[in-house]
Amino acid sequence: MSRGEKILVTGADGFIGSHLVEALVRRGHEVRALVLYNSFGSWGWLDHCAPDVDGNFEVFPGDVRDPNGMRKAMRGCEAVLHLAALIGIPYSYHSPDSYVDTNIKGTLNILQAAREMGVRKVVHTSTSEVYGTARFVPITEDHPLQGQSPYSATKIGADQLALSFHRSFDTPVCVLRPFNTYGPRQSTRAVIPTVITQIAKGLREIELGSLHPTRDFNFIDDTVAGFVSALESDEGVGEVINIGSGYEISIKDTVFMIADIMGKEIQVVSRDQRVRPKASEVERLWASNEKANRILGWRPAYGGIDGFRKGLEKTIDWFVKEKNLKLYRVGEYSV
């Protein structure tokens, strides 16, 4: 592909989406950023984008649940990076209908629009949650899919819908499957920002859920690089591709690594409201990233324990700045 293509990014107001918009603008692409329409005129995290990017992208307020709006949003675009989704797992327990509407029907609207508009590529965002608890490690793209929460079930549905459009209509779809992304701007629904913000606010008794599960944490720069690789590569159409660091660590060890970097002694308290139902908890995630390397030429820059620590240091540096920390309701449990 050539630089300067017009790219639609859905979910551009979110954590990963806002970083991706910045990266694409810096690479010379013309970006149309789909943000969720709201009466406040908020662009989400794009309201806080980097100065060198601010004003250099187009904002399209809309909603992926609206088919006509998605056709309008995609008009004139050569490719689409589809990140818009509801992702909070606890919220999916009591509001699963909204996850079906946004994650499945919203993806259908993007695929239909892409088919009608004849775009060059659709990069659809999956999640490591579709694998459920690992049956074998490292987890390859051939691992069985297990819907252990309404959220993961809707993402499995959306992934299969995207792949079906490739098989049925030759829609140029690549399914990118990031493992647990972390970094600046992430919601405190996630464990790493939860721990950092509580410590930064002076709390020494940290409230969390389960500590024993393991995760493959992927620094935001690596996740964004995976999306850019999937977009700009001629390969990957019709494929599912993991984006993960290839390193596994428990939640407990992650928490105490953060405390060590921040130079604080802490105690961890497990709260029932933060614990998933037993059969819904994903106990182990550890990615194989061999396919991403082979097909897209992607490798994590923050892999292994040293890379993870480096990514945590950058994340902490961002969160502890008062202008950023004040954007969060520290210590409040948010679904």
Round to whole Å and give the CA distance between 330 and 328: 6
Largest CA distance in the chain: 57
CATH topology of domain 6-181+218-243: Rossmann fold (3.40.50)
**What span, in angstroms and rounded, lies between the C-alpha atoms of 193 and 323?**
15
Q: Is 271 exposed, middle or buried (0-12, 13-18, 19+ CB in 10 A)?
A: exposed
**pLDDT in the model for residue 3:** 63
pLDDT of residue 210: 87
The neighbour count for residue 329, using CB atoms within 10 Å, is 10
Q: What is 191-256 written as a DSSP string? A: HHHHHHHHHHTT--EEEES-SS-EE-EEEHHHHHHHHHHHHH-S--TT-EEEE--S--EEHHHHHH
pTM of the model: 0.96
Domain residue spans of the chain: 6-181+218-243, 183-215+248-284+303-325
DSSP state, 280?
G
Task: State the virtual CA torsion across 191, 192, 194, 197 in degrees, nearest 10.
Answer: 180
Nearest residue to 308 via CA among 201, 180, 142:
180
pLDDT in tens, the chain (335 residues): 556 799 999 999 999 999 999 999 999 999 999 999 999 999 999 999 999 999 999 999 999 999 999 999 999 999 999 999 999 999 999 999 999 999 999 999 999 999 999 999 999 999 999 999 999 999 999 999 999 999 999 999 999 999 999 999 999 999 999 999 999 999 999 999 999 999 999 999 998 888 999 999 999 999 999 999 999 999 999 999 999 999 999 999 999 999 999 999 999 987 777 777 889 999 999 999 999 999 999 999 999 999 999 999 999 999 999 999 999 998 777 66
Residue 86 has φ and ψ, to the nearest 5°, of -90, 130
CB 119 within 8 A of CB 170: no
Distance in angstroms (rounded) separating the CA atoms of residues 33 and 179: 23
CATH of domain 183-215+248-284+303-325: 3.90.25.10
